Chain A
Amino acid sequence: MTAVICETGAQWYPICALADLVPQHVLETELLGVDLAVWRSRAGELNVWHNRCPHRGVRLTLGANLGSELRCAYHGYRFASGTGRCQALPAHPNRSPPASMQVRTLACIEHAGLIWTSLDSAEPPTQWSLPDGPTSDLYPQHIAAPLSQVTTALAQHTWDFGHEVPTDASIVALLQPVNPRHTVIHGVLVGHVETTTLQHLRRAHAASLAGLRRVLEMEAPA
């Protein structure tokens, strides 16, 4: 088991699993204290947006994924997939929305079964520190502790999977710094494993991380 924070130099982090983005959904998550709205258009385009309508600040995750647009719950303003530009102001059907009526969008990419983004960098990493191979999601673990503590604890953690991880497979922990008090560990298995082995590893991995969480949350200052 290796714990990896994407070591590409650029500040790219995983924010959710691909499987979390169910059709027509707008998913809410947080990265480094910034609220994010994540949604996929009907055509398959992935959007990671600041979770805030540029008009009156309402969280866009209250809104509706209309397929090619996201509609804000407050005034029905519709923002285009890709650009985040406002397409229509229901209050003024015959006027064009001002150019400044645009959601702040973030660059994003799919990798290793996860969605990745960066608050600072528009260029996705060209080199990933993950081993090559097919990936399978493990269960994410939310921990009420900062990234630095989780990183340290993972490096010292003793894993017990009950039986061997196949030699051609590896388990990787990818860390989402949610905010200064909260971290998510996204677990990914890289390599070929039998379905029954995968199910076993998922449970064992979750149980092991739950133990890590108990220790960390008892250590973390209240």
Chain B
Amino acid sequence: MTQITVGESQGTPRSSGLEPSVLHEWHVLNAMEEIPVGRPLRTRLFGVPVLAVQTPDGVSVWRTADTASSRAGEGDPLPVRVRYGYVWTSLGSPAHELFELPECDEPDRRLGHAGTFAVHTSAPRVVENFLDMAHFPFVHGGYLGVEPHTEVQDYDVAVSADRREVIARRCRFFQPMASLVAKEGFEVEYVYRVPHPYCAVLYKSSALYPERKDLIALVTRPVDEEHTSASLFQAMLDDQHSDVAIRQFQQLIFAQDKPILENQRPRRLPLDPRQETSVRADRMSAAYRRWLLESGVRYGTLAPAGSLP
């Protein structure tokens, strides 16, 4: 098992290596469609320069010495998976496969990448925002919420038996325009899953099919501790709108979240429950923070003093 020392970020330099819970995990690089053919994409993952190349044979990813000058084929080759339209890689040796999204196999789903956003904050702050309903009327007013419908009713939160996933069920919220196909406001039911430290999936009631749910996934790459590349993936039940229109709705929503995310301090997610005050509506957020702490995830967080890495 190799410990990888990651580069310095804007905050306190990390002297320790990347923790095993993160090192031996698959992480999203970019959407397949964002990686040009025949021209390398240079970027960073956990502060480590990486390079991706798409050829007719597929995608290759290398860990390189620096971001600017390295060429394809230089450096250490990294493992690659292409799933859900994204390229995934790892700086370690993942012992398990990526989380499953079985809904993507349903033939009438509109699958697609909705956009990638550079966000100047930690990946866990972005994930936590994605799991939050209480901000809908204030940040997404007229779309995902509207005053005076601000109450967050009780919902169920659980960690899966294998401890690999946090799940919230029976989440309900009144939304004036839940998606492009919604013609009027209605009480939307959500299910949230966190199957990965830096990815989250939500299922929300379809405005077209009362028994089915749209799927939106947030897959994020920690560029470094306080910079994140956040991509949105969707598997929608919508036979009425163009791909561009469906993308634009998600981009509009994320553009409303971005200034909030970039003005949170500290940028790293505090895992000590005393550092930020929570209320009952924050049970999902609190469960996510506790799960990160117990899973040994530290990158992009502020661990409580005295906690083991």
Contact = CB atoms under 8 A, between A and B. Distances in A.
Contacts of B81: none
Interface in B139-191: 139, 147, 150-152
A91 B265 contact: no
Interface string A160-201: 000000000000000000000000000000000000000000
A89 B265 CA distance: 21
Of listed A35, A90, A100, residue having the most chain B CB within 10 A: A90
Contacts of B282: 55
B150 A57 contact: no
A3 interface: no
B264 interface: yes
Contacts of A58: 260, 263-264
B277 A101 contact: yes
Interface in A49-73: 51-52, 54-59, 62, 73
Nearest to A71: B138
Contacts, number: 72
B266 interface: yes
Contact of B152 (A54, A92, A100, A101): A92
A27 to B, nearest CB: 15
B139 A89 contact: no
Given A54-B276, A91-B281, A59 B265 contact: yes
B92 interface: no
B279 interface: yes
Nearest to B263: A59
A35 B279 contact: no
Interface string A72-94: 01111000000000000111110
Given A59-B263, A76-B150, A90 B134 contact: yes
Contacts of A51: 265
B151 A93 contact: yes
Contacts of A98: 277, 279
B273 to A, nearest CB: 11
B276 A73 contact: no
Contacts of B197: none
A85 B265 CA distance: 19
A95 B280 contact: yes
A62 B279 contact: no
Interface string B268-290: 00100000111111100100000
A51 B266 CA distance: 11
B87 to A, nearest CB: 32
A75 B135 contact: yes
Given A57-B266, A92-B151, 9 more contacts: A54-B276, A57-B264, A58-B263, A73-B139, A74-B135, A76-B147, A91-B150, A91-B151, A97-B279
25 contacts: A35-B265, A54-B277, A55-B278, A55-B282, A56-B128, A57-B264, A57-B265, A58-B260, A58-B263, A59-B264, A73-B139, A73-B260, A74-B139, A74-B260, A75-B134, A76-B138, A89-B279, A90-B147, A91-B151, A91-B152, A92-B152, A92-B279, A95-B279, A97-B279, A98-B277
Interface of A: 35, 51-52, 54-59, 62, 73-76, 89-93, 95, 97-98, 100-101
Interface of B: 128, 134-135, 137-139, 147, 150-152, 259-260, 263-266, 270, 276-282, 285
